Amino acid sequence: MEALAKSQRIKLKTAATFSLMLYDLVVKGGRVMDPAQGLNERKDVAVSGGRVVEVASSISASNARRVLNASGKIVTPGFVDLHAHVALDVARLCIDAESVCLPYGTTTVVDAGSTGELNFPTFKRYIIDRCQTRILAFVNVESLGMIELTEEPPDYTDQGWPALISAVNDTFAPLFANRKNLAAVLRRYKKNVVGIKWAHHGLPLLEIARSVADDVGCPIMAENVMTPDSVRYLKRGDIITHLYLPSSKGVRGPGNGLRPDGGKQIVEEFHKAKRRGVIFDIGHGKGSFSWEEATIAFNEGLKPDTISTDLWTGNVNGPVYNMPTTMSKLLHLGMSLEEVVDASTAKPAAAINMRGLIGTLRPGSMADMALVRVVEGKHPLVDVRGKRRLADRLITVTDVVKGGRIVNTFSRA
């Protein structure tokens, strides 16, 4: 009896302590949509110490230092943009994550190869370490990354030296990469770096990326160019981005896109890649999202695994704008809202080996959230060819929480 009484006293004390718990923030009254947990119902979310500590049907507002009213809104995990360019002032093509990404619900941004092994440490010290937005990176296989790029067509550079990278059938390409130093940077900065990016130049650099990735044990993000040859280098867990790039015939051999020969069907190499576990990413960009290409791919069952923007100075004022606009295009193409949220939260988190830490509102995860409305009406959405479609639903973000702090509120309505 004495042992039973002691046990009951402990339970009462524990219950009393729990009832007196003071949360840093409670997000109340919203519909929590968290595909990682299979949640899509009205829940409150409590936060302490920058982490989610409770998700329940009702959490008392009196136990919170601050309350965020989510009535009439959808509460999702903070978006994870797997492909953007945010090494501001380190590479000329880059945008400011704090003003372009975070206010629109993107709490984690993965820079897609703006810097290489020579200038990634500068990117980390002056941008990554100083931003509220969580920034991770693919390090470019090219030692200097994308420093030459500008938004001016047709060459998108005002420098002469980049022409050497792919000159004489890529003879000089290996001179622009350093296997040893790339591997060293990947290992030294493994908390910040998620893999290797291959872009813009020939297959010899993809071969180098493959050998270093295998050595270090990290994925490659490869652009949807020089296909189907480039796709054959990719293994389970690697990522092919710019999925719905308009197809074209290649001047130097292989073409670009899912239909590099301009045919009516997607080449079989992409279906093989999907079956072996290669991740398909949108990477919208200035030139890489076509309604026509996306429709053909959807008809063949090739929906994207992950949704990303490829935001840079050349598209931030259109046609990309931000993550919610890109997500809305996939919603219009026929993905369900739950699929769109999954491809913008849990799936990209898993792709960079951060499942359970970001991209979810599971207790113990980082307290990153986007409060969303889906606005019905007639909303013009444009692809990279200027082709316009009217969507009947547009995803908009009203409030953002990063690490348990309300960092942006567009509207309290």
Tell me the domain boundaries of the chain: 77-399
CB 217 within 8 A of CB 194: no
pLDDT averaged per 10 residues in sequence order, the chain, 413 residues: 45 45 93 98 98 96 94 98 98 96 97 98 98 98 95 88 90 95 98 96 96 98 95 98 89 80 88 98 97 96 97 96 98 98 98 98 98 97 97 97 86 41
Calpha distance 19→349 (Å, rounded): 33
**Which residue is it, tokens 């059938």?**
169
Q: Write the DSSP symbol of residue 88.
A: B
- Helix, strand, or coil (residue 274): helix
pLDDT digits (tens, 9 = 90+) for 233-262: 999 999 999 999 999 876 556 789 999 887
Radius of gyration of the chain measured on its C-alpha atoms: 23
Structure tokens at 372: 């969303």
CB 96 within 8 A of CB 311: no
pLDDT at 412: 41
Q: Which candidate, 328, 242, 228, places its Cα nearest to that of 289?
A: 242
CB 267 within 8 A of CB 226: no
- The span from the first CA to the last CA of the chain, in angstroms, equals 56
Q: Which candidate, 331, 323, 343, places its Cα nearest to that of 104?
A: 323
pLDDT at 252: 57
* Residue 134 CA: distances (Å) to CA of 183, 310, 376, 380: 23, 16, 31, 31
**Topology, domain 77-399:** TIM Barrel (3.20.20)
Phi-psi region of 385 (alpha: psi -120 to 50; beta: other; left: phi over 0): alpha
Structure tokens at 170: 């890529």
Q: Which helix H or strand E contains 298, and what residues bound it?
A: helix 291-299
pLDDT at 153: 84
Residues in the chain: 413
pLDDT at 20: 57
